[in-house]
Amino acid sequence: MKLISTLFALLFAATMFAQTSIPRPEHPRPQFVRDSWVNLNGTWTYTFDFGESGLARGLNASKGFEDNIIVPFCPESKLSGVEHKDFINAMWYHRSVDIPAAWEGKKILLNFGAVDYFSAIYVNGELAGRHWGGSSSFSIDITRFVKAGEKADVVVWVKDDLRSGEQTGGKQCTNYFSAGCSYTRVTGIWQTVWMEAVAPTGLREVYVKPDLDNSSFILEPKFHALEKGLSLNIKVKDGNKVVAKKNVKATSPMTVIVPVKNVKTWSPESPFLYDLEYEVVNAEGQVVDKVTSYAGMRKIHIEGNRVYLNNEPLYLRMVLDQGFYPTGIWTAPSDEDLKKDIELSMSVGFNSARLHQKVFEERFHYWADKLGYITWGEAASWVMNVNNEVAARNFITEWKEVVMRDRNHPSIIIWTPFNETWGRPKKSEAARFHDRLISDVYDLTKNLDYRPVHDVSGGYHVKTDIWSYHNYEQDAEKLKERLTLKKEGEVPTLNKDCEAVYGGQPYFLDEYGGIKWVIEQYASNTWGYGKGPKTLDEFYTRLEALTNVLLGFDYINGYTYTQLTDVEQEQNGIFNYDRTPKFDADKLKAIFSKEPEWFKELKK
């Protein structure tokens, strides 16, 4: 039976990708594109290593394993062709790759969108690099292990100890069966794998900061290496028209200010994006590296208890998006699926999303940039023990890599490293590990980027630019009573005796609703918040009443409705898990498109 089910799963996966030889063929990093790259998605071989004896057995030097898996889909998913649902503490992947002859003399990078959780990369039997972090992207320089024009054996060893408390897991379930708000696990490679050739003196990265008030982009380029006479050409383009350019000497450190006349701003109403082009030129005038990118000219800042976009007050009508897919789990089946989720959200009146307990694929942020969809970036912080020092060390490294990868996306306006840190002990002395971690991550994020930092969604707040609270009360009058301010300077919060003192930050009710409505029951343990309505009319009435309560408080700058889609047994989404509709989109849009009267006055 196991053989039959495996064959069926592989047949399903093959059928899904019959129209293309490579699943997820699009470039995974649209803000840093080179022409010389090779997508390594597709069929790899694999073996599980439940005894973690693979190294002793020499699996790092493998030429191939017995079973096949479709990358970039995790082995728990249907699209992988495997569908192994039990815990996978360790596994091995193998792929033979062709190194193009034209890459002679280049630095050859092997890139991974994400591998959950620890990975060791072997090339032709030799250790090329290691990485910790289930959600962050990384690159391994494999130049010295391969030869241009020849084949190479790439082996990836994965370890994923979800129940250790020392690693991030987000909404992955630590029990065998999915339950509550925890779902199917994700192990191993779950984002695109690709190779690219880079000049030894090519660009490593470019941090782009928009300066709207001074009509400029501030660029911070970094190179793999420097040499005498090296320079960087920068072009900013509006379509085919070059609107700004600069040629500068390549140095380290390096800051380049590029003024742009008659700037066009990025906003939900007009998500204009400038194309960027970088050329690294050597002393002989030869272009040795060329990278294309894009950027949005927009400003995000806080004044008092308000958030401003492009110097205009902003009210956020957010939806909670967990980014799970029935056949791909954490990985969207296609690029179009990423785009579709945003379009579904916008079609029912949301202007933004709180990306929840998952670091989304960079292609999602690309579509958010293109469509004018505002987001809050969040880590998969659940499962880790916030009082564990090893977990803290692991989290800090992973979060740093997440912020540095995604900080050029204009659609991301706020960073939220943690969600509901329930593991904080109530006694202040025992809570010192929790509070130190939250404080350190806040400081780290502020040092890495200019955006506001929302330390812990829903509490417990320690050090934050944004204040938030979660409340799933289903009775509108009771919700109104809970949100009514009892004393000046005090706002509803999780536990004021365990949190920092509210300092007048912008306040959000960034989880509410979660109304259960089931079209077809997914599992026997299906649930939603509170007692579900009996009729559709009752659903719309409850939804509108709850939302109107929030709109009536001028200290609340926005909300997050739970949630965009059902996820497995949690069936409180606006859409079914397969993205089919549950409700009348026009009726939902009439509710979620509302702006508070006080906000309309503020904008005048």
Q: What is the pLDDT of residue 604?
A: 87
- If we measure between CA atoms, which residue out of 137, 131, 129 comes closest to residue 190? 137
Instruction: For the chain, give every residue range classified as CATH 2.60.120.260.
Output: 2-198
Is 430 exposed, middle or buried (CB count within 10 Å of its CB: 0-12, 13-18, 19+)?
A: exposed
Calculate the alpha carbon distances from 67 to 182, 246, 396 in Å. Answer: 29, 52, 35
Helix (H), strand (E), coil (C) string for 99-141: CCHHHCCCEEEEEECCEECEEEEEECCEEEEEEECCCCCEEEE
**Mean predicted lDDT score pLDDT of the chain:** 96
The DSSP symbol for 347 reads H
Asked if the model's pLDDT at residue 165 lies above 90, the reply is yes
Torsion of CA 46, 47, 50, 54, to 10 degrees: -100
From first CA to last CA, the distance across the chain in angstroms is 67
Q: By the 8 A CB rule, do 279 and 201 touch? A: no
What pLDDT was estimated at residue 72? Answer: 98
Backbone angles phi and psi of 303, in degrees to 5: -130, 115
Q: Are strands 374-378 and 412-416 parallel, antiparallel or unpaired?
A: parallel
316 beta partners: 558
Report which residue type is found at 503: G
What gap in Å lies between CA 87 and CA 160, rounded to an integer?
A: 9
- From 438, 564, 458, select the one nearest 511 (Cα to Cα): 458
Q: What local confidence, expressed as pLDDT, does residue 220 receive?
A: 98
Which two three-digit tokens encode residue 300? 């995000």
Task: For residues 209 and 343, give the distance between their C-alpha atoms in angstroms, rounded to a whole number.
Answer: 27
Closest by CA to 169, choosing from 402, 497, 391, is 391
- Residue 83 has a pLDDT of 98
What amino acid is encoded at 342 in this protein? Answer: I
Tokens representing residue 250 in the block = 């390549």
Residues of the chain with CATH 2.60.40.10: 203-295
Show the tokens assigned to 377.
């970036």
How open is the CA angle 57-60-65, to the nearest 5 degrees?
80
Residues 6+ apart with CB under 8 A from 409: 31, 365, 366, 368, 369
Instruction: Classify the phi-psi angles of 378: left when phi > 0, otherwise alpha if psi is within -120 to 50, otherwise beta.
Output: beta
Range list for CATH 3.20.20.80 in the chain: 300-603
CA distance 139 to 137: 7
Q: Per the structure block, which two tokens stand in for 424?
A: 């904080």
Residue 73, pLDDT score:
98
pLDDT tens sequence across 375-390: 999 999 999 999 999 9
- Measured CA distances, 101 to 104, 151, 291, 510 (Å): 6, 10, 21, 53
**For residue 296, how many other CB atoms are within 10 A of its CB?**
23
Distance in angstroms (rounded) separating the CA atoms of residues 40 and 22: 8
The DSSP call for residue 561 is E
Q: Mind listing the pLDDT tens digit for each residue in 313-338?
A: 999 999 999 999 999 999 999 999 99
Residue 20's pLDDT is: 52
The residue count for the chain: 604
At 545-601, the pLDDT tens digits run 999 999 999 999 999 999 999 999 999 999 999 999 999 999 999 999 999 999 999
Which amino acid is residue 401, in one-letter code? Answer: E
What pLDDT, on the 0 to 100 scale, is given for residue 459? 84
Neighbours of 29 (CB within 10 A): 19
**Which DSSP string do the residues of 439-499 spell out, in sequence order?**
HHHHHHHHHH-SS-B--EETS--SS-SSEEEE-----HHHHHHHHS-SSTT----S-TTSS
Alpha-carbon distance of 73 to 79, in angstroms, equals: 6
> Do residues 573 and 183 lie in contact, with contact meaning Cβ atoms separated by under 8 Å?
no
| pLDDT level of residue 406 (50, 70, 90 thresholds) | very high
Question: Encoding tokens for residue 400?
Answer: 């740093």
pLDDT digits (tens, 9 = 90+) for 486-537: 998 899 999 888 999 999 999 999 999 999 999 999 999 999 999 999 999 9
Place domain 203-295 in its CATH homologous superfamily.
Answer: Immunoglobulins (2.60.40.10)
pLDDT category, 430, cuts 50, 70, 90? confident
Calculate mean pLDDT across residues 297-312.
98
Does residue 95 register a pLDDT over 80? Answer: yes
Residue 15's SS3 state is helix
Q: Would you identify the CATH topology of the domain 300-603?
A: TIM Barrel (3.20.20)
Q: Which CATH superfamily is domain 2-198 in?
A: Galactose-binding domain-like (2.60.120.260)
Q: Where are the beta strands (DSSP E) in 316-460?
A: 316-321, 352-355, 374-378, 412-416, 418-419, 456-457
The pairing of beta strand 37-39 with beta strand 193-198: antiparallel
d(C-alpha 349, C-alpha 336), whole Å: 20
Tokens of 434: 């929790």
CA distance 430 to 437: 13
Q: From start to end of 224-329, where are the E strands? A: 231-238, 241-249, 256-259, 274-281, 287-295, 300-303, 306-309, 312-313, 316-321
Specify the pLDDT at position 19.
41
Q: Edge-to-edge strand order for the sheet containing 300-303?
A: 300-303, 306-309, 312-313
